[in-house]
Amino acid sequence: MTCNMNYDQADIAELKRLKALTTRPVVIATMEKLLEDAQQEHQNQRLSNASISSSTATSTATNVTIREPISRTKANTQTVYITSNYSWSETDKSVFIYLTIKNATEIRREQYHLQVKPRAVQLDISEHEGANYNFRISQLQGQVTPEQSSVKVKENNGQVLISLRKGNVGVKWGQLRLKTTRDMYDQLQRDERNSANASNSNQRDSGSSINQPLASNNSTLFDNNTTMETIVREAYQSTDSDTRKIFQESWKHNHNYNNNNPFDVSSILEDHKHPSSPHHHHSSS
């Protein structure tokens, strides 16, 4: 959601400069969204100031201040970002995304706009029941063919259906979004919390004293490291060759700065560079 901040032209110029310096797709998408919000907030502030300055008028003939009618400007329309209320499926040729929006059958064709790039998709729906809707995935698991993609409202169940034509027909995606380092970090954090909660629960149930050896903590750490390795392997194996190169460069860069980096999986990368046995993997570039 947009934060209520006062942006001026200098702030917007600085955001544009920072965006020009970024190279990572996820960071670029984040900067674009922040820049868009800043420009919108700046425009809203200008309109608000103009409305306030013209709200009263002074009669110079009688030296009497006359209040003008209160300006009833239209409130800013809320934007609903669809991040969880959707599902998806795939065939050998296509990927289908199903968005659940209340009273979707009332959405007219001119209200929605679909933008598709080889590795990204965005759908904007304007002025539907007093709100705008936005759905966006900036890093799809595989490539798609933009000119063969479409969107429509399914009359039978009231869902918005986005159809994406696969760039590589016959290649299974397995997941809709490409896993990022942030996704893996969040997964590790959840695993650590769950492991810690389970450890605390076991200690309470067994009535363990504070003077007991901390073997359980060492076991928890080992389990977390094993979980992280599993997460990294899954993410690495499910990506295409170009994304693997990006992962390798990113992890090697982090390793040069911090040998204790939890994302240092150089051994995993080496396993894939020099496998001891044949391993078949479908690329989904």
Are 185 and 268 members of one domain?
A: yes
Considering the domain boundaries, does residue 240 fall inside one? Answer: yes
Considering the domain boundaries, does residue 171 fall inside one? Answer: no
Are 116 and 188 members of one domain?
A: no
**pLDDT of the residue at 36:** 81
Considering the domain boundaries, does residue 30 fall inside one? Answer: yes
Are 85 and 147 members of one domain?
A: yes
Q: What are the tens digits of pLDDT across the range 232-241?
A: 666 767 677 7
How many domains are there within the chain? Answer: 3
Considering the domain boundaries, does residue 175 fall inside one? Answer: no
Compute the average pLDDT of residues 3-29: 74
Are 198 and 156 members of one domain?
A: no
Considering the domain boundaries, does residue 96 fall inside one? Answer: yes
The better pLDDT of the pair 243, 115 is held by 115
Are 82 and 162 members of one domain?
A: yes
Q: What domain range is 185 assigned to?
A: 181-205+214-273
Q: 91 pLDDT band (50/70/90 cuts)? A: very high
Considering the domain boundaries, does residue 31 fall inside one? Answer: yes
Mean pLDDT of the chain: 74
Considering the domain boundaries, does residue 4 fall inside one? Answer: yes
Considering the domain boundaries, does residue 34 fall inside one? Answer: yes
Q: 1 pLDDT band (50/70/90 cuts)? A: very low
**pLDDT of the residue at 210:** 44
The better pLDDT of the pair 59, 146 is held by 146
The secondary structure element, H or E, covering residue 97 is strand 94-100
Rounded to an integer, what distance in angstroms lies between the CA atom of residue 125 and that of residue 107?
A: 8
CB atoms within 10 A of CB 227: 17
**pLDDT of the residue at 17:** 78
Are 27 and 98 members of one domain?
A: no
The answer to whether 242 and 283 have CB atoms below 8 angstroms apart is no
Compute the average pLDDT of residues 241-245: 72
Are 196 and 124 members of one domain?
A: no
Question: Can you give the CATH number for the domain in which 161 is found?
Answer: 2.60.40.790
Are 186 and 268 members of one domain?
A: yes
Among 243, 99, 241, 92, residue whose Cα is nearest residue 166 = 92
**pLDDT of the residue at 54:** 62
Helix, coil or strand: residue 135: strand
**pLDDT of the residue at 269:** 52
